[in-house]
Amino acid sequence: GGGAMTWKVLVYDKFCQDAIAPLLKVGGLRKMNVTLNQTIDSDRQAVLDTPVVYFVEPTAENVARIVKDLESGLYPSFYINFASAVPRSLLEDLAQGALKGSAAQKVAGVFDRYMSFVSLSPSLFSLNLPSAYETIHSPSIADHIIQQYIERIVDGLLSVLITARALPIIRCPPNEVAEMVGRRLEERIRELLGKGAAGAELFSNASSGPASSEPSGRPLLCILDRDMDLVTMLNHTWTYQAMAQDILGMRLNRLTVPVESSSDSSAPPKPKSYDVDEGDGFWAAHAGDPFPNVADAVSTAIDEYNKRREEMATSKESDDPTQSMTKDLAAAFNSIPEMTEKKRSIDMHTNIATALMSEVNARELHHYYEMEDQFSSQSVSAAVSTLEKILTGTKKGTVVDMTRALMVLYLSKPSAGEAQLAQLTEALQANGGDASGLSYLQHLASIRNMLVPNLVSGPGPAGSSGASASLMGGAFGGLADRLRQGGQGLLDAGLSNIQNILPSKKELVVCKVMESLMEQKASPATENFIYLDPKVASSAAGGEAPRLRSPFRRGFAFVVGGGNYAEMQSLLEWAQAHQRHVIYGSTDLVSPSQFVDELCHLGQAQGGGSPGAMDLR
């Protein structure tokens, strides 16, 4: 609050630590007067003159640990913040423990913060629930476990809606996990609204700003199952942000790349970690750009930086040299923070681009991207022949790259014959690949129509026309000159092979669904979607709430079972083109290799059993 500065200790669990990490670094915590931050399960010493702020999930383990801290008298006062609504039973455990330890007076407050999600950008959130697809589709998962998991997803979605002050219309496909989530979320919102003004306040827009200009004043929340589009989770990528996750393992806006020593060329590269988020101007501007364009932008940024340095170093002509020197020095000092930040950003993106280019060349990822991109327009025999050359020839790529390509072909070409698939599967296994993920996809296809979505090719990205054969060429030329003194080595290798690759624009399933629902257009893809309005009294069995018919200006698209940056980027481009504001979220942002692992685990668990053995709910 406003008075004297109060230092505090921050104690969090793993989930809440991940929620804070993309938003506040150590310096940011210092500005919030946090003098010490520790995990709840660590061995903490008493701090007798500083209050503690807990930010944890409402679990029995966390409550027991807080009670133990109260009994031990570790801090003079306790501010207990739970990431989501606390069950009454846990509140009672906390109260009884505080009384038993004669420490009830130390509890300054207990709060439901509704922050059970990770905000990665203004348009992107994750519930940070890894392996959600595998968990939900596991043949051995018990009913009570799936119910707990759905409750956890609903906690996250409720947190997002309350944070956004949004009371949505909910749409979801029937007979899927998405419906279970949607109906439970409707119940939870209705329960809060039933608490009167306090509940309604959670969803009200205090400023009555953006909402008041909309026809309905309410957004759409579309909850989708990952099964609507599996191929997007497996495709090789060609845009900066998606490649940072796919190739460099970016997670929670943080990635690690190998960086060569500037002083000792013989020394092995050292790993260096970077945080990339909307606060970085270059990332904000280019995260969704095709990778070659990003290299061009890095090269331009270097040129601009060097030009600015030269201008600062050159004294302006003046009648009074002393006065001129004073002005120049003052201008130079004032520019130091800005120039330092520019240098940091350029160095970071140069190192990231170098690491990406290294992997592109080593694994010939441009071949994989181009091949998969062409599957949908090729004949079955041509697609099979192209992949066979990759699997049996001298093409590079990891076993996971090959596995992904085979899965993409299977999903893209449902008419491929059994003999053709068997031949490709044998070739994959000869390279040491695991075919259980493909077996799971085949099993899935045998019991539901789950194959590749009908992607609609659209115009290429702005500025890409027949003249864009230079997409890769000049872009890395300038960067290579600066990175490798004369363009020799890493970034210079293989440029002639990849200069003609054009990223095609395909409207993904999530875009088609959101367009149909937000524009209120009839579409076979959404005609059976359930309509839920938590603001309207629950209808009789089988009935449906009266529908809002006006188009939606704002929307949330949430995918149960994992999402990725390529899908997010496609949706945001659609929203911008249609003058809509859309936020994308999922149970977790899953890299293609992680998704392959989930499919393989499901295939191994399914073990070739009969389709009836799989509980897909």
- Residues 393 and 413 reside in one and the same domain: yes
CATH of the domain at 601: 3.40.50.1910
356 lies in the same domain as 409 = no
Average pLDDT, the chain: 84
User: 459: how many CB neighbours lie within 10 A of its CB?
Assistant: 9
In a domain, 154, yes or no: yes
Residue 446 has pLDDT above 60, yes or no: yes
Residue 479 domain-assigned?
A: no
End-of-domain residue from the set 70, 87, 113: 113
Report whether 242 contacts 565 (CB < 8 A): yes
Binned at pLDDT 50, 70 and 90, residue 222 comes out as very high
pLDDT tens per residue across span 385-418:
999 999 998 668 999 999 999 999 999 998 889 9
CA atoms within 13 A on the CB side of 50: 18
Cα 180 to the center of its chain, rounded Å: 23
Distance from chain centroid for Cα 71 = 40
Q: Are residues 43 and 109 in the same domain?
A: yes
Give the CATH number, domain containing residue 70. 3.40.50.2060
The secondary structure of the chain in percent helix, strand, coil, rounded to multiples of 5, reads 50, 15, 35
Q: Does 337 lie in the same domain as 380? A: no
pLDDT of residue 51: 96
Give the residue among 400, 348, 390 at the shortest CA–CA distance from 367: 390
CB atoms within 10 A of CB 213: 9
SS3 273: strand
Do the beta carbons of residue 159 and residue 116 sit within 8 Å? yes
Instruction: Judge whether 48 lies within some domain.
Output: yes
Q: Are residues 38 and 143 in the same domain?
A: no
Measured over the CA atoms of residue 452, residue 456, residue 462 and residue 467, the dihedral's sign is: positive
**Amino acid, res. 254:** R
Whole-number Å distance between alpha carbons of 151 and 157: 10
Residue 307: is its pLDDT beyond 80?
A: yes
| Contact call for residues 141 and 135 (beta carbons, < 8 A) | yes
Backbone angles phi, psi at 519, to 5 degrees: -85, -5
Residues 64 and 104 in one domain: yes
Same domain for 244 and 336? yes
- Which residues sit opposite 126 in a β-bridge? 118, 586
Query: How far is residue 345's CA from residue 249's CA, in Å, rounded to a whole number?
Result: 19
Query: 81 with 108: CB under 8 angstroms?
Result: no
Same domain? For 52 and 136 the reply is no
* Structural domains in the chain (count): 4
Q: Is 30 among the domain residues?
A: yes
Q: Mapping DSSP to helix (H, G, I), strand (E, B) and coil, where does residue 115 land?
A: coil
- Under the banding of pLDDT at 50, 70 and 90, the label for residue 563 is very high
With respect to residue 135, please indicate whether it lies within any of the assigned structural domains.
Answer: yes
Domain around 86: 8-113
What's the rounded Cα separation, in Å, for the pair 80 and 103? 14
Between CA 487 and CA 412 the distance in angstroms is 39
Maximum Cα–Cα distance for the chain, whole Å?
Answer: 91
What does the pLDDT look like over 75-113, one tens digit per residue?
999 999 999 999 999 999 999 999 999 999 999 999 999
Domain shared by 359 and 375, yes or no: no
- Asked whether residue 490 carries a pLDDT value surpassing 50, the answer given is no
Tokens 């004073």 found at: 326
Judgement on whether residues 444 and 557 belong to the same structural domain of the protein: no
Residue 504, pLDDT score: 67
pLDDT tens track for 203-220: 987 444 433 334 447 999
Region label for 33, one of left (φ > 0), alpha (ψ between -120 and 50) or beta (otherwise): left
How far lies 164's CA from each of 245, 470, 501, in Å? 27, 43, 40
Are 188 and 294 contained in the same domain? no
| Across 343-368, average pLDDT | 92
DSSP secondary structure letter of residue 227: G
Structural domain contains residue 3: no
In a domain, 543, yes or no: yes
Do residues 219 and 252 share a domain?
Answer: no
Q: Rounded to an integer, what distance in angstroms lies between the CA atom of residue 598 and that of residue 586?
A: 16
Vertex 405: Cα angle to 274 and 426 (nearest 5): 130
Q: Is 129 inside any structural domain?
A: yes
pLDDT in tens, 500-519: 566 666 789 999 999 999 99
Rounded CA gap, 609 and 139, in Å? Answer: 10
